[in-house]
Structure 1
Amino acid sequence: MITDVPDAELASTYATLVASIREAWSPLAAADKVVAPWGPCTALDAARGFTVETITHGWDLAVATGQPSDAPNGIADRCLSYAVAVIPDRLRGVMYDAPVIGGKTSSTTEQLAHLLGHKRHRR
């Protein structure tokens, strides 16, 4: 966590950090190396999968504790756009439940959770 940046330098520090993160992630975007956290996939798909997991389990915890449950700044929108591609059907019933169909959703974060089979109320 960065806490020692003067207010006047927040924007420029943020821009520098964004450039740094993009540079670190750019090899993943072109990666064809196969990694295997849950089966063969590219490094980019693994990173996307872990992001989807983090957002979805964050939603679970927020809902369970009565906290705000929406992911910040459109992260869930990006996750939802590629979640179908990074969640193999062969893992349904193993790591993921069937998608929640017809569930009333209030946000993209909740839509993502429903795609992974997560519900507000578990029985």
Structure 2
Amino acid sequence: MNIDPRPLYTRAGDQIAALVETVRPEQLAGPTPCAEFDVRTLLSHIAGGTRRIAVVGAGGDGMAVRPFLDGVEDDRWSAAYDEVRTEARKSWADDARLDALVTVPWGEAPGRIALSGYVMEAVTHTWDLSESLGRPLALDPELAEFALGIARRVLPDERRDDEELPFDSAVPAPEGADAYGRLAAYLGRRPLS
């Protein structure tokens, strides 16, 4: 895989930022397709994961970064996410980072592979957030197709019994599902309604 995932990661971040801007305070305690997360916790995880990959891109130890951003006031999620995504974009600006070996939760990989995995994570959590908020915006299908391709490559088994994996076994996609629906189903997620 010799793709430069940075433009896709930037687009995924832009899409998340647009969704985060739609979050109303009364939605923060609402459910998400990630049963263990409410919307507030999902936002914390999205921002924390972005901070982690920013540290990795800068050559730091991403595993030392908790994948949650704590202490964000309810009316500051948009600003907090903007800060970490700007940090991530800057940390991956050097082309040499794409071929540097980095350590991420699933092991050691070239930067381009690691960042591609974070595109998959960002796009998956975009679907989670969109579902939680009642699908307020149209989502970029190309991002979901890329993320689904990565998911099929790194998680080829449809049955996932490893408790360390953050994804459940695949479930059937609803008939006529778009790319996000197929991605969500492949990763074991179900719509809230």
TM class by shorter chain equals: 0.5 to 0.7
Number of residue pairs matched by the alignment? 102
TM-score of the aligned structures, taking structure 2 as reference length: 0.42
Q: 1 or 2 for the larger relative contact order (CA 8 Å, sep ≥6)?
A: 2
Change (3 A) 1:24 1:87: farther
Give, in whole Å, the separation in 2 of the partners of 1:104 and 1:114: 11
Give, in whole Å, the separation in 1 of the partners of 2:192 and 2:104: 32
Name the residue aligned to 2:58: none
Name the residue aligned to 1:104: 175
TM-score of the aligned structures, taking structure 1 as reference length: 0.61
Unaligned runs of 5+ in 1: 2-20
State whether structure 2 residue 151 is matched by structure 1 residue 78.
Answer: no
State whether structure 2 residue 86 is matched by structure 1 residue 24.
Answer: no
Shift of 1:99: 0.9
Report the residue type matching 1:85 in the other structure: R
Give, in whole Å, the separation in 1 of the partners of 2:155 and 2:136: 26
- 1:100 counterpart SS class: coil
Report the residue type matching 1:40 in the other structure: E
Percent identity, please.
Answer: 28
CA RMSD of aligned residues (A): 3.3
Unaligned runs of 5+ in 2: 1-13, 15-89
Give, in whole Å, the separation in 2 of the partners of 1:111 and 1:88: 14
In the TM superposition, 1:40-119 aligns within 5 A as 40-68=108-136, 71-72=139-140, 74-87=142-155, 92-94=162-164, 95-119=166-190
